[in-house]
Structure 1
Amino acid sequence: MTALATPEKTRPRGVAPTAGLRRPRRYGRVLLYAGLLLGAIPTILPFVWLVRSALMADSQMFVAPPEWIPRPFLWSNFGEALTAQPFALYLLNTVIIAVVCVIGTVFTCSVAAFSFSRLRWKGRNVVFAALLSAVMLPYAVTIIPTFVMWERLGAIDTFAPLTVPAWFAGAGGGVFNVFLLRQFFLTIPFELDEAAYIDGASPWRVYWTVVMPLSKPAIVVVTIFTFIGTWNDFLGPLLYLQSEEKYTLSLGLASFQSLFITQWGYLMAASAAMIAPIIALFFFLQRYFIEGVTLTGIKN
């Protein structure tokens, strides 16, 4: 009787033991990428439609069946659209508001999150729960009293109503940012704080030299959220800004639409130019953004 062949003897020469497992894994990866691609199409399609429309003439834009390739490419739509109104001034106003809001939000929300996560004081959890309850308050409820307050302060038609609330952690989307940063700060080992305190560091020193450098992914997430929210804000500038020289891009685009309602190519070009900085910012910081969202809430 012949002995049963062992796996080592029956395996063909030059074939690794795991070669049979690589093929199913490869097929699974292909299926995964295919599923992600199919899921991304509904998200990318509106942006593709926006760009192709910005490079088309109005007569080609609405033909049936739709044409996806402009013939010819009308790059002049961007130049004519951006010079029809003072979009450079609108861009400067928007950048000023966005930068001030980002700095204020990151600073105040990180300080509040540091207090809620790294410091021990009486009533901390109660105050944090009360702060989170503000998320359930609809924004529409506070519009009228907030407007009356700024009107009595004489701040209408200024940037103050759009920038000052960012320097208070509970204003606008600050509650969510405080919660996000607090959850991330909890993932940092407390032994680092204790070592700094032993060396004579104050809480401010621990916040600035220990916690903040280790929280770059979460800070980038808050920066992106705040920048996008400020850049796309339409209701706030509509309520508080009256002079055209103080308009933001969102207001300028709305007024441009009322002036050039039939010039769809110009509208699409102006809209594409408005969202381009946001897309560039996300692609530049996407690694930190994904890391910050992924690691938030994972302790140690």
Structure 2
Amino acid sequence: MDTAARTLVSPARLRRPGARRVYWAIVALVVLLFTVVFTGPLYWMVTGALKSGPEVAQIPPTLYPQHPQPGNYAEAWTALSLGRLLLNTVWYAFGALAFQLVFDVAAAYAFSKLRPAFGNALLGLMLATLMIPSTVLVIPQYVTVIDLPLVHWNMLDSPWAIWLPAVTNAFNIFLLKRFFDSIPQDLMSAAAIDGAGPLRTLWSVVLPISRPILGVVSIFSLTAIWKDFLWPLLVEPSADNRTVNVGIYAFSQGLTQNVVIAGAVIAAVPTVVFFLIFQKNIMSGLTAGSLKG
């Protein structure tokens, strides 16, 4: 049986004269094109932060700073109060992550292994929310935040206004459930024979082998809170509680464009560095559990 991997171009075609050169030329061109498309905005942002105000507004724009001004970053840090904004964002992001790891893992474990009554129907309804545009849900979520049902609690200007809505993440629950589905039932049965209950099995058996997918969910959770703008703008109106994106928008009045761009660069650095460090974990976590057997 031929187990060779199938490719877009067959090996026989690549062995023709000049075919390999054309193939690799096309591959290099496509890679270069996508590199320019994806890194172009980042390059413009970083170089724009080093330009003077008139040079940033110049048309056509310059490809690199004529007279670099690294002091723009220091000015942005002070004028935009980026230290406090970053601390606020870290607090919101890791708080939301903690709640998601507790409740989303519990929900996915219940759907996958405990099989509650009407579990498939509930999961289907939960996944159906992924088809609803997020902007449609802004008004009902905001009404809920300003008057939490039953307890009538106004959560505006508190971390709970960001933490609690972040828990209801159907996509993360689906990712976790798919991974839990791939865990062999023999492990679950062995834990039950040893006297472990559902919670002990989750803690001692399921979670230790679920680190890849937990890493992916953590990365998605942190970046979602970090890059969000509309929801924090609505629920954190106080200047002391703003996230970094909202703070840059609010404090940018009266500042030159190059200083604002420098602030945006500083705000983007943590997520870019975080991705570069854990990009292998993202790919391994997304593919883990996709094959059973």
Q: TM-score, normalised by structure 1?
A: 0.83
Q: TM-score, normalised by structure 2?
A: 0.85
Q: 1:217 to 1:30 in 2, by over 3 A?
A: farther
Aligned equivalent of 1:10: none
Q: Which segment drifts farther, 270-279 or 104-113?
A: 104-113
Over 4 Å off, 4+ runs: 23-31
Aligned equivalent of 2:258: 265
| Offset at residue 288 of structure 1 (A) | 0.6
Aligned equivalent of 1:17: none
Select 1:295's aligned residue among 282, 288, 293: 288
Aligned equivalent of 2:179: 184
| Offset at residue 67 of structure 1 (A) | 2.5
| Equivalent pairs, count | 273
Aligned equivalent of 2:209: 214
| Offset at residue 66 of structure 1 (A) | 3.4
Q: Which segment drifts farther, 104-113 or 140-149?
A: 140-149
| Offset at residue 37 of structure 1 (A) | 2.9
Select 1:124's aligned residue among 104, 119, 124: 119
Aligned equivalent of 1:162: 162
Q: 1:146 to 1:64 in 2, by over 3 A?
A: closer
Aligned equivalent of 1:278: 271
Work out the percentage of aligned pairs sharing the same amino acid: 32
| Offset at residue 240 of structure 1 (A) | 1.4
8 Å CA contact retained: 1:187, 1:297: yes
8 Å CA contact retained: 1:50, 1:268: yes
| Offset at residue 88 of structure 1 (A) | 1.2
8 Å CA contact retained: 1:110, 1:178: yes
1:82 maps onto 2:81 in alignment: no
Q: 1:199 to 1:137 in 2, by over 3 A?
A: same
**5+ residue gaps in structure 2?**
1-14, 148-152
| Offset at residue 31 of structure 1 (A) | 5.0
Aligned equivalents of 2:38, 2:49: Cα separation in 1: 18
Alignment RMSD, CA only?
2.3
Aligned equivalent of 1:139: 134
Q: Deviations along 1:129-157, whole A, 9 cap, x unmatched?
A: 12222223343343333323332322222
Q: 1:201 to 1:26 in 2, by over 3 A?
A: farther
8 Å CA contact retained: 1:90, 1:252: yes
| Offset at residue 38 of structure 1 (A) | 2.3
Paired letter, 2:61: P
| Offset at residue 76 of structure 1 (A) | 0.1
> Over alpha carbons, which structure has the higher Rg?
1
Q: 1:101 to 1:255 in 2, by over 3 A?
A: same
Paired letter, 2:288: L
Aligned equivalents of 2:31, 2:105: Cα separation in 1: 34
Aligned equivalents of 2:284, 2:26: Cα separation in 1: 25
Paired letter, 1:163: W
Paired letter, 1:61: V
| Offset at residue 272 of structure 1 (A) | 0.5
Structure 2 counterpart SS, 1:212: helix
Aligned equivalents of 1:60, 1:269: Cα separation in 2: 14
Aligned equivalent of 2:8: none
1:72 maps onto 2:67 in alignment: yes
Q: Deviations along 1:249-283, whole A, 9 cap, x unmatched?
A: 111111133332xx111011000001110001101
Structure 2 counterpart SS, 1:158: coil
Q: 1:54 to 1:136 in 2, by over 3 A?
A: same
Aligned equivalents of 2:160, 2:260: Cα separation in 1: 30
Aligned equivalents of 1:84, 1:264: Cα separation in 2: 13
Aligned equivalents of 1:36, 1:221: Cα separation in 2: 25
Aligned equivalents of 2:118, 2:57: Cα separation in 1: 61
8 Å CA contact retained: 1:180, 1:296: no
Paired letter, 1:142: L
Paired letter, 1:275: A
Aligned equivalent of 1:7: none
